[in-house]
Amino acid sequence: MTGRYSFIARVPDEPGTLHRVAELLKEHAVNLNRIQYDHRIDRNTVFFEVTGSPEGYARVVKELDRIGYLQTRLPSLRLLTLYIWLPHRPGGLFEFLQEVTDARANIVAIDFDDRGVSPERVELTLNLSESTAIEALLDRLKARYRLEVVEYDPTSHRLDDTIYYVRLAEQIRELIGDADDRFLLCLLQDINHVVQELNHRGRDPAETFGTCLAAGRRLRETQDDGFYADIQRIQVSDRVQLWCFQLPAGGNTYLLDAGDDLVLVDTGFGCYHDEIVRMVQAQGIPDLSRLSRVVVSHADADHSGGAGLFLATSLMHPVTLQIGRDLSRAYGSRSEGSVLEAVYTTLINLFSEYTPATRVMTFPIETLGEREGFAVLDHLAVGDLVFEVLEGHGGHMHGQCYLYEPDHGLLFPADALINFESLSEERRSYASIAVYLVTSVNVDSDRARDERQALLRLVAETDARLAPSGRRCVVAGGHGAVSVLEQGRLVAFGESVPYRPAR
């Protein structure tokens, strides 16, 4: 019986080290599936994925650990910048660097110019793994040289590329809070796989790392006092008001308020939950515990990631439930095996505090009819509105569903139909992160294009049918402003009011 395994090796930067690991794999009949090493990023860290028997893999790992090649934890890091006044004679630098070598310190930067302002002064930045090693080194240096400690930084913000992955792990830890080394090492494996895949497509690894971190930082910056939104309020019928809340990042969340009934359509990211509750309360809806249902259009975290934080039952497609529990967002598509989709799902769920629904009712899969090529799966009543639940074709994501109210003209097309022109620059910038990391937000671009055209036809047909009554088909897309169709383009409908929490 064989299994697939992964490990991270931290090897000396010298000839023959990778060959030694390969020799171990061969000796224990373990096959290599993936290896990624780039001296320009981190000259000591190598990522492996292998296939073999559990016994063979265990022997490989044991031997790697014995020779000091196996990375199972993230080292503590200390950064030290010094001014050292060295004797200006042959051998002066050699003698000093011998002390550094004996202390097993790694040189991050060194700067010396005998024609400078201080011709005998060397500026040196070191990193050491233990604070006791720093103290011992300083004691030895003070006994021989004049020195000045310029900076002592116990964080990893200014480390060099020899420990790039360690630095990345620490930056992730800052974003997500406490996380053990084993979890972070597994996450580094995933991120490295994305780097490798995008590198094959000509993407710069450093830019990929930066893009991963930018997603988490953006979500962190827009919580609490950094939260904001744009709000639209539209009277859809005699009994039902529609509230649209454009969140700082990710998708919209909507409320259908029928007075005696309150329904949420999509939840936003889980990390925004508390801010969403306070925002809704500020609009005069004090009690979200009266929510009767939460409709989840699809499994992306910016639409479903807060569902488990509400008491109400969540309604969704069976595939949405499956993806939310177990799988990559590419499930059921031609890109189902894409490592980019799988790792993007992991990262965004992590950064956004993804909390899937625990109380779930799935839409039936039996077709009740058809609307513009979309199967009608169910009906959903809210006040005097009766929505058809339409099943998408899997262009943006499998399991995506739309809500359509034919008599009053209201369509929730999720991420299949969006007024991109209404997005603020900050929201566009955040949306570009997903495009970079997965190359397309749609798991099947051809199907997504066909779905968009079918939905536009549905909107145009509804407008024509409702024209005698003076009504329009109102489009409440997954992102951007609630809109109507004008000459083939979506344009914002009604006033948007900016919201920021009271300070």
Clarify whether residues 439 and 330 are in a common domain. Answer: yes
User: Has residue 168 been placed in a domain?
Assistant: no
Q: What confidence score (pLDDT) does residue 158 get?
A: 44
Q: What confidence score (pLDDT) does residue 499 get?
A: 96
Q: What confidence score (pLDDT) does residue 157 get?
A: 47
User: Has residue 371 been placed in a domain?
Assistant: yes
User: Has residue 478 been placed in a domain?
Assistant: yes
Mean pLDDT by 10 residues, the chain (503 residues): 85 88 93 84 84 92 91 71 80 82 78 72 74 70 79 50 66 78 79 80 81 90 95 96 97 95 96 95 87 96 94 95 74 61 81 91 94 97 97 94 97 96 94 84 91 97 95 97 95 94 81
Handedness of CA 303, 305, 309, 311 (dihedral sign): positive
Q: What confidence score (pLDDT) does residue 40 get?
A: 67
User: Has residue 39 been placed in a domain?
Assistant: yes
Clarify whether residues 139 and 243 are in a common domain. Answer: no
User: Has residue 383 been placed in a domain?
Assistant: yes
Clarify whether residues 381 and 290 are in a common domain. Answer: yes
**Pairwise CA distance, residues 466 & 95, whole Å:** 88
User: Has residue 160 been placed in a domain?
Assistant: no
What's the number of domains the chain is made of? Answer: 4
First-to-last alpha carbon distance for the chain, in angstroms, is 61
End residue of a domain, out of 43, 66, 89: 66
Clarify whether residues 460 and 493 are in a common domain. Answer: yes
CA nearest to 57, candidates 9, 16, 6, 92: 6
User: Has residue 487 been placed in a domain?
Assistant: yes
The model carries a pTM of 0.75
The SS3 of residue 270 is helix
**Pairwise CA distance, residues 72 & 7, whole Å:** 9
Clarify whether residues 402 and 473 are in a common domain. Answer: yes
Question: What phi, psi does 102 have (nearest 5°)?
Answer: -60, -30
Q: How distant, in Å, are the alpha carbons of 86, 132, 244, 359 from that of 97? A: 11, 19, 64, 64
Greatest Cα pair distance, the chain, in angstroms, is 96
Clarify whether residues 432 and 309 are in a common domain. Answer: yes
Residues 73 and 24: beta-carbon distance below 8 Å: no
User: Has residue 163 been placed in a domain?
Assistant: no
**DSSP symbols for 302-333:** HHHTTGGGSSSEEEE-HHHHHHHHH--TTTTS
Clarify whether residues 266 and 201 are in a common domain. Answer: no
> Can you give the CATH number for the domain in which 143 is found?
3.30.70.260
Q: What confidence score (pLDDT) does residue 378 get?
A: 97
Clarify whether residues 179 and 296 are in a common domain. Answer: no
Q: Which domain holds residue 213?
A: 173-221
Residues 330 and 346: beta-carbon distance below 8 Å: no
Clarify whether residues 239 and 387 are in a common domain. Answer: yes
Clarify whether residues 267 and 396 are in a common domain. Answer: yes
H/E stretch holding 350: helix 339-351
Clarify whether residues 243 and 369 are in a common domain. Answer: yes
Clarify whether residues 228 and 265 are in a common domain. Answer: yes
